């Protein structure tokens, strides 16, 4: 078959389809189409366009939608944006059609919309912004969205960039790159809370830590509105500081001076970094006199400053032992650097996992002072650190009060808390129906569904209000349930409630009448129980059904001449 024949047949089929369509009444067409399309899809109106959205014999498939909405298809395949998290759902679940030209097929509540689903969490100042503050045409940068004039003509939320500079002007004029979040946070532009000067080429130490940023970072020469952060000269002190010696000393300033202060460290052209004790951390900011104590040379001699220190290998050579020898017996002799460093005594870089009591569960978030006590002050105003040695910590009761008032003290494990509880939290407990089966009262039937508090009420145990879980004697049915029979079955003849009832339910009785003094035979087997066991009232004004003492003679129920049917009685 040649191309002309195929084309001719195609045209003939279309004409035949059009003729059939025109011949179909309007009412029939209305039944085929559920309604008019929205304005956005008005160009697809007509039966010849149905298969552009609907697959034959099926509903609208996502592939058909994404064949036109290529911007969404690109983002779903790239797993970015709001629709990427909905890839397992059908488009028609949210976007309804055939409701008329004015129907909005895209609608959602901006007040309750969870922006985290888009992959861009609204934090800090972003939370209070109106949607149209960011979602405007001028800020769209995605090329595929910009090329779609139809999409741009409508209000679209696609095409924004996640980079800060897409919405915010770069006040640093590209000096520091485009990763604004390295220094700034969404909470506020100033101060740059995440900026750490130690990451810069010029680390701040000593007096430099107190200098205002503007003292070094001034406006750029060619742009007085922009602060200069890169390209500053700082290789020598004289790059920023004037030389008070007017060039008399050829050595660099740091040969004698340090950032701790101009006067500190200037003794005898002294460079402390050349010694066996380089100054780091808080030692940098110390005054020379703190370690090199001035002394008098002889009686009435002049005050001189000693720079030679014999002992400095250990922290204890200069610092008092704040822990009063608690760790002297440790393998390292209680070396301070095992927990502390020169940056500060607190917080201590202590790894609790290296002790005999690793912190897990709730203990990991507990404040140190909860177990080790708080720092105290002596009579002279000095600080006394808490005692870090704890002798007893093997059992929960060493630190925690027994919430059960000693009820489990007689148990084989002496009431070990970990039998039922875990360090992740006191509640819920590890105790389940399986453990309850090991007690004297196995939970079966209706008892298995009863809440624990129903049977274990709050009670005074050893003068403290707590839940009772242990009883001295085994519990009987009457311990919890009211005797609805008014004591009729008291006595040695009956074996208790379980003689007739089971935990499966009160009405599911296992009573066997043939074991009584009146076995049921003949017509009696069909008589309702209530016909013979009528209701009565006890002396205590309790309405009960009479079972014990029920008459057993025929004449008691069937008087002479009684013509009533068996199973009924005269009133």
- pLDDT for 160 equals 92
Mind giving me the DSSP string for 5-62?
HHHHHHHHHHHHHHHHHHHS-HHHHHHHS-SPPPGGGGGG-SGGGGGGTBPTTS-B-H
Q: From CA 170, how far away is CA 451, in angstroms rounded?
A: 63
- pLDDT for 490 equals 80
- pLDDT for 379 equals 60
With 0-12 / 13-18 / 19 or more C-beta atoms within 10 angstroms meaning exposed / middle / buried, residue 289 is exposed
Q: From CA 178, how far away is CA 164, in angstroms rounded?
A: 8
What sections of 514-563 are H helices per DSSP? Answer: 529-532, 554-557
In the numeric block, which tokens belong to residue 556?
Answer: 């008691």
- pLDDT for 45 equals 92
In the numeric block, which tokens belong to residue 445?
Answer: 């039937």
- pLDDT for 375 equals 66
Contact residues for 105 (Cβ-Cβ < 8 A; gap 6+): 38, 40, 41, 95, 96, 97
What sections of 285-376 are H helices per DSSP? Answer: 288-291, 368-372
Q: From CA 268, how far away is CA 257, in angstroms rounded?
A: 10
Q: From CA 116, how far away is CA 421, in angstroms rounded?
A: 37
Distance of CA 555 to the CA centre of its chain: 77
Query: HSE on the CB side for 242, CA within 13 Å?
Result: 2
- pLDDT for 291 equals 85
Q: From CA 70, how far away is CA 76, in angstroms rounded?
A: 10
With 0-12 / 13-18 / 19 or more C-beta atoms within 10 angstroms meaning exposed / middle / buried, residue 160 is buried
Query: HSE on the CB side for 537, CA within 13 Å?
Result: 3
Among all chains, which residue has been given the structure tokens 């002596």? 378
Total Cβ atoms within 10 A of residue 82: 20
- Cis, peptide link before residue 191, omega less than 30° from 0: yes
In the numeric block, which tokens belong to residue 472?
Answer: 């001295």
- pLDDT for 18 equals 38
- pLDDT for 77 equals 93
DSSP 8-state class, residue 418:
G
Decide: 469 and 415 in contact? Cβ < 8 Å.
Answer: no
- pLDDT for 41 equals 92
What sections of 324-384 are H helices per DSSP? Answer: 368-372
Total Cβ atoms within 10 A of residue 75: 19
Q: How far is CA 339 from CA 86, 268, 329, 492, in A?
A: 50, 35, 16, 74
Contact residues for 70 (Cβ-Cβ < 8 A; gap 6+): 144
With 0-12 / 13-18 / 19 or more C-beta atoms within 10 angstroms meaning exposed / middle / buried, residue 242 is exposed
- Cis, peptide link before residue 428, omega less than 30° from 0: yes
Q: How many residues appear in the chain?
A: 571
- pLDDT for 561 equals 62
Decide: 162 and 136 in contact? Cβ < 8 Å.
Answer: no
With 0-12 / 13-18 / 19 or more C-beta atoms within 10 angstroms meaning exposed / middle / buried, residue 257 is buried
Decide: 484 and 497 in contact? Cβ < 8 Å.
Answer: no
Q: How far is CA 516 from CA 39, 496, 528, in A?
A: 85, 15, 17
The beta-strand segments (E) located in 68-191 are none
HEC letters along 375-395: CEECCCCCEECCCCCCCCCCC
Query: HSE on the CB side for 339, CA within 13 Å?
Result: 20
In the chain, which stretches have pLDDT less than 50?
Answer: 1-30, 265, 268, 564-571
Phi/psi at 13 (nearest 5 deg)? -65, -40
Beta bridge partners, 466, equal 459
Contact residues for 140 (Cβ-Cβ < 8 A; gap 6+): 146, 152, 156, 158, 159, 160
Instruction: For 32-47, write each residue's pLDDT tens digit.
Output: 778 999 998 999 998 8
Decide: 101 and 36 in contact? Cβ < 8 Å.
Answer: yes
């Amino acid at each position: 078959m040649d191309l002309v024949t195929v084309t001719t047949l195609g045209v003939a089929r279309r004409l035949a389809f059009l003729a059939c369509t025109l011949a179909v009444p309007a009412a029939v067409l209305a039944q085929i189409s559920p309604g008019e399309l929205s304005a956005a899809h008005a160009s697809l109106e007509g039966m010849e366009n149905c298969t552009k959205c609907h697959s034959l014999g099926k509903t609208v498939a996502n592939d058909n939608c994404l064949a036109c909405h290529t911007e969404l298809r690109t983002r779903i395949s790239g797993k970015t944006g709001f629709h990427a998290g909905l890839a397992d759902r059908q488009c028609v679940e949210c976007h309804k059609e055939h409701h008329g030209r004015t129907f909005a097929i895209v609608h959602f509540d901006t007040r309750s919309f969870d922006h985290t689903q888009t992959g861009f969490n609204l934090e800090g100042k972003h939370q209070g912004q109106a949607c149209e503050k960011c979602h405007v045409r001028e800020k769209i940068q995605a090329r595929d969205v910009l090329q779609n004039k139809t999409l741009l003509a409508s209000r679209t939320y696609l095409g924004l960039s996640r980079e800060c500079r897409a919405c915010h002007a770069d006040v640093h004029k590209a000096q520091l790159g485009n990763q604004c979040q390295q220094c700034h946070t969404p909470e506020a532009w100033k101060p740059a809370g995440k900026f750490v000067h130690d990451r810069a080429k010029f680390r701040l130490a000593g007096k430099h830590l107190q200098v205002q940023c503007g003292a070094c970072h001034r406006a750029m020469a060619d742009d007085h509105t922009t602060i200069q952060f890169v390209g500053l000269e700082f290789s020598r002190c004289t790059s920023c500081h004037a030389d008070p010696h007017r060039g008399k000393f050829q050595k660099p300033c740091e040969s004698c001076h340090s950032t701790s202060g101009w006067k500190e460290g200037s003794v005898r052209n002294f460079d402390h970094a050349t010694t066996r004790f380089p100054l780091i951390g808080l030692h940098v900011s110390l005054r020379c006199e703190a370690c090199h104590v001035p002394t008098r040379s002889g009686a009435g001699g002049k005050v001189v400053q000693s720079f030679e220190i014999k002992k400095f290998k250990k922290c204890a050579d200069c610092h008092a032992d704040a822990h009063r020898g608690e760790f002297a017996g440790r393998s390292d002799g209680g070396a301070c650097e095992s927990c502390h460093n020169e940056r500060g005594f607190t917080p201590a870089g202590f790894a609790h996992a290296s002790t005999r009591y690793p912190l897990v569960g709730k203990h990991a978030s507990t404040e140190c002072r909860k177990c080790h006590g708080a720092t105290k002050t002596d009579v002279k105003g000095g600080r006394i650190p808490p005692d870090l040695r704890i002798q007893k910590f093997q059992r929960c009761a060493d630190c925690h009060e027994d919430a059960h008032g000693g009820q489990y003290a007689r148990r084989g494990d002496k009431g070990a808390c970990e039998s039922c509880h875990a360090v992740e939290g006191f509640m819920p407990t590890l105790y389940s129906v399986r453990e309850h089966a090991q007690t004297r009262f196995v939970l079966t039937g209706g008892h298995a569904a009863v809440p624990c508090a129903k049977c274990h009420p709050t009670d005074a145990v050893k003068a403290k209000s707590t839940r009772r879980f242990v009883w001295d004697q085994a519990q009987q049915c009457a311990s919890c349930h009211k005797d609805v029979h008014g004591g009729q079955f008291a006595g040695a003849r009956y074996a208790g409630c379980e003689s007739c009832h089971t935990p499966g339910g009160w009405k599911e009785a296992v009573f066997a009448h043939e074991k009584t003094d009146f076995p049921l035979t003949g017509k009696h087997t069909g008589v309702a129980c209530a016909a013979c066991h009528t209701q009565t009232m006890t002396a205590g004004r309790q309405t009960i059904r009479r079972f014990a003492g029920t008459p057993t003679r025929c004449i008691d129920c069937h008087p002479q001449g009684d013509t009533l049917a068996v199973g009924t009685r005269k009133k």
